[in-house]
Amino acid sequence: MKVHLEVHDIHPVLSFQVSLLDLADITEEGVTFQSPADGKPMLLTPEESIRIQNKIGADIIMALDDVVRTTITGPRMEEAMYRTLRWIDRCIAAHERPDAQNLFGIVQGGVDPILRDICVRGLVERNLPGYAIGGLAGGEDKDSFWRVVAQCTAALPADKPRYVMGVGYPLDIVVCSALGADMYDCVYPTRTARFGTALIPEGVLKLKHNAMASDERPIDSTCTCMVCKKYTRAYLHYLVTKDPMGSQLLSYHNLSYMMRLSQNLHMSIVEGRFPQFVQGFLRIQFPKGDVPKWVCNAMEVAGIDISSCCSPIH
Amino acid sequence: MRFVVTKSCGGSSRVRVGSLLAGNPSSLLETPALLLSTKKGLPAFISPDLLATLDSPGPPLLHISPVHFLDGPSPSIISSIGGLHQMLALQSFVLVASPRDSIDSLPESIGANKLGAAFETPSGRRLVKPSDYMDMISSLKADLWASLADEVPAWVSEKRNRASVDRTLRWLDDCIALDKTGGENIFGAIVGGTSVKERQRCATEVVKRNVPGP
């Protein structure tokens, strides 16, 4: 069972999502899975999940949802969406600290716009403090992914936070932000660090590559993090994937990158130059102008003109 | 490097407090002192930005094993970057290089021969000759460094134990000859196992080379 717990900053945000389980038995009662501690079957009900989160005391807590892979089609998807709505009522009923802890509902429905619509309406009726867009970041094609996000952000209340779970790649974050999303979580920056991959404005830098062994430059000359101020690609090449310190240093840089991306994106909105920020971001990532079609489509819906970044062929 | 005993307790007591002047620029270190162990130059247990939070009376002393760098970066790259202090971004620390490591790349006496010492590294057993060792030492530019020793466990034969002393002394001479910094920062290694006689022989011979420290 993968239980994602994130705590960040001064306001601990705890997300408790049964995300895309490999082995789980899901019934109306709850989710039965193998306990990571002793392998015995454990039942997690909506009530139990809220009870635990009430105890942990996070500022934002998540409903227990019935989530299935977006690649699944058929009645199971519909069942999961309706069950998510039934479970949100059980979560709301079980929540003992609504004054101190904000319960976010999670929109499910796969890539089916009709199911998503029903789910959004159902959650909005419950007038929750915030909404998560779940069930994505699981291997669905990019075109379906952005359309679901766009549909949800259009239908969810404007004055409440919209949290896209499991996103993600820097490009995905820029696109989802353009579409009106507010919050994200993802293992990508640290996980990719453990595999020796650094995040840079151009995309990624694979430090295990032979060329890195004698490269005395920092990971990213525009980055002001501790790792980029102190260490060369050459030294890091010999640490990453082999020594825990390599993972630490690279994770440090990747997280700095994500924070800087987030800060720059934020400021560009505040200062009224978000389209320019997007154009700048895309130009560095796609210097030949080969911006993926799905990004172009999404930006069109988001009302952001990126024609200057796309070469005529694409 | 300079060392001065600043206080001894007299009588039959051997304990003493000393001052060690080392580093560039020079720092004054009090002894007895603890060396922090490292893996490929950086402490394994704490990230570099938190090193400064360690409660240390003077600049921390780090122990670095040159053998950790057998797989890279190469001496030429380390030199090009500017040596250990630059590469590790530990400019204000005192770095001590010696092949001693209790976890990684341990000496393997069975693999040693008259040409060099052997170490069990993560990429297999490697033979390190004095010339290889000095290539690394030159590029590392540590503040203090130990000569290459033929370390043997306590249970080897007398003959093997004697040979380890002979080799260690020969390699000390090789290291001194190949040292580009004029012998300022060498610690001569003393071996001899559990044989007091051999230890004394080794110590006496090392002292004759008049290196800054044993």
pLDDT, tens only, A63-92:
999 988 777 878 999 999 999 999 999 999
Contact B47 A249 (CB under 8 A): yes
In a domain, A313, yes or no: no
* pLDDT mean over B180-188: 86
Contact B47 A248 (CB under 8 A): yes
Number of domains making up chain A: 2
Helix (H, G, I), strand (E, B) or coil at B214: coil
Assess whether A214 and A160 both reside in one domain.
no
Q: Is the confidence at residue A242, as pLDDT, over 60?
A: yes
Per the rule left: phi > 0, alpha: psi between -120 and 50, beta: everything else, A105 is beta
Tell me the C-alpha distance between A25 and A28, whole Å. Answer: 10
Candidates B113, B121, B88; CA nearest to B167 is B113
Confidence of residue A18 (pLDDT cuts 50, 70, 90): low
Chain A environment of B73 (Cβ under 8 Å): 213-214, 234-235, 237-238
In a domain, A73, yes or no: yes
The alpha-carbon gap from A230 to the nearest alpha carbon of chain B, in Å, equals: 5
Tell me the C-alpha distance between B199 and B214, whole Å. Answer: 12
Length of chain B: 214
* pLDDT mean over A290-313: 93
Assess whether A108 and A222 both reside in one domain.
no
Tell me the C-alpha distance between B28 and B59, whole Å. Answer: 8
In a domain, A180, yes or no: no
Candidates A111, A146, A116; CA nearest to A131 is A116
Strands ordered across the beta sheet of B144-146? B35-37, B61-64, B94-97, B144-146, B186-187
Please give the pLDDT value at position B27: 85
In a domain, A304, yes or no: no
Residue type, B184: E
Assess whether A30 and A130 both reside in one domain.
yes
Assess whether A205 and A251 both reside in one domain.
yes
Assess whether A20 and A156 both reside in one domain.
yes
The string of pLDDT tens digits covering residues A40-69 is 888 889 999 999 999 999 999 999 999 887
Confidence of residue B25 (pLDDT cuts 50, 70, 90): confident
Contact B40 A226 (CB under 8 A): no
Q: Is the confidence at residue A14, as pLDDT, over 50?
A: no
Candidates A174, A162, A163; CA nearest to A258 is A174
Assess whether A23 and A94 both reside in one domain.
yes
Chain A environment of B89 (Cβ under 8 Å): 229-231
Q: Are strands B94-97 and B144-146 parallel, antiparallel or unpaired?
A: parallel
Assess whether A19 and A56 both reside in one domain.
yes
* pLDDT mean over A251-280: 98
* pLDDT mean over B23-52: 89
- Those of residues 262-281 in A touching chain B at CB distance below 8 A are none
Assess whether A31 and A161 both reside in one domain.
yes
Please give the pLDDT value at position A196: 97
Please give the pLDDT value at position A25: 85
The string of pLDDT tens digits covering residues B42-92 is 998 899 989 888 887 777 899 999 999 999 899 999 999 999 999 999 998
Q: Is the confidence at residue A3, as pLDDT, over 60?
A: no
In a domain, A295, yes or no: no
Assess whether A88 and A207 both reside in one domain.
no
Higher per-residue confidence, B154 vs A36? B154
In a domain, A43, yes or no: yes
The alpha-carbon gap from B136 to the nearest alpha carbon of chain A, in Å, equals: 15
Assess whether A199 and A65 both reside in one domain.
no
Assess whether A141 and A20 both reside in one domain.
yes
Closest by Cβ to A213, choosing from B44, B72, B81: B72
Percentage helix, strand, coil for chain A under 3-state DSSP, each rounded to 5: 45, 15, 40
Q: Is the confidence at residue A2, as pLDDT, over 70?
A: no
ipTM score of the complex? Answer: 0.91
Chain B interface with A: residues with Cβ < 8 Å:
39-44, 47-49, 69, 71-73, 77, 80-81, 87-89, 122
Helix (H, G, I), strand (E, B) or coil at B5: strand
* pLDDT mean over B116-142: 95
Decide if A207 contacts A236 (C-beta within 8 A).
yes
Please give the pLDDT value at position B45: 87
Report the chain A residue with the minimal C-alpha distance to residue B49. Answer: A226
Structural domains in chain B, sorted by start: 23-208 (3.20.20.105)
Contact B81 A231 (CB under 8 A): no
Lowest mean pLDDT among A64-68, A148-152, A263-267, A290-294: A64-68
Please give the pLDDT value at position A12: 34
Percent of chain A clearing pLDDT 90 (strictly above): 81
In a domain, A311, yes or no: no
A213 touches chain B (CB under 8 A): yes
Closest by Cβ to A245, choosing from B44, B69, B122: B44
Provide the domain limits for residue A209.
Answer: 190-272
Q: Is the confidence at residue A249, as pLDDT, over 80?
A: yes
Residue position matching structure tokens 């990508």: A188
Tell me the C-alpha distance between A190 and B43, whole Å. Answer: 21
- Surface-to-core class of residue B2, CB atoms within 10 Å of its CB (0-12 exposed, 13-18 middle, 19+ buried): exposed
Query: Of A165, A181, A210, which residue constitutes the final position of a domain?
Result: A165
CATH number of A120's domain: 3.20.20.105
Q: Is the confidence at residue A188, as pLDDT, over 70?
A: yes
* pLDDT mean over B142-149: 95
Tell me the C-alpha distance between B87 and A238, whole Å. Answer: 12
Assess whether A153 and A212 both reside in one domain.
no
Please give the pLDDT value at position A235: 98
Query: Of A108, A131, A165, which residue constitutes the final position of a domain?
Result: A165
In a domain, A230, yes or no: yes
The string of pLDDT tens digits covering residues A93-143 is 999 999 999 999 999 999 999 999 999 999 999 999 999 999 997 888 999
Tell me the C-alpha distance between A46 and B160, whole Å. Answer: 71
Confidence of residue A1 (pLDDT cuts 50, 70, 90): very low
